[in-house]
Structure 1
């Protein structure tokens, strides 16, 4: 996948901890999250599953969308994820990354 501005949402499990980020290299950034190579929120909370991403023509537009989504209520974010990904599938394989072990749906809470 070529470098392109993108907003992405990661989840620890269905209905679990969510993380919203912005990048111009989605594959590279997901690799960093998966390998816990950067200290921070996603490493502390094991947030590694890509459940939504949106591509943009400019980084400015992507940053504006990221800021918008971060202001949203949690339920709005869940509704957005489920509008295109109702089963909370990990979307990383669709952009060329290997699959992760399935998210544990039985311990999730809404």
Structure 2
């Protein structure tokens, strides 16, 4: 077969299970209906009109929205690892990663 089985028991494949896309949402719509982590959606795409510019020809140069919510995750994880290693060695240890 051209594509490998997705799992050993069900032997099924969904070719278009996940497709990366760029979606722009209207700010007033997001304010009225905020997105929550873990939401799913069902989408229908009309590809009948193909005379426009291809997405690859119009790359976005800057993100229009950003979040800092994950900025400290690596630092916190490194500090936890240092504490666990220190507890097991019986002496203070700092990997150097947690200080950044």
> What's the TM-score bracket when you normalise by the shorter of the two chains?
under 0.3
* Structure in which a larger fraction of residues adopt helix: 1
TM-score using structure 2 length = 0.20
Which structure would you say has the larger RCO, counting Cα contacts within 8 Å and 6 or more residues apart?
Answer: 1
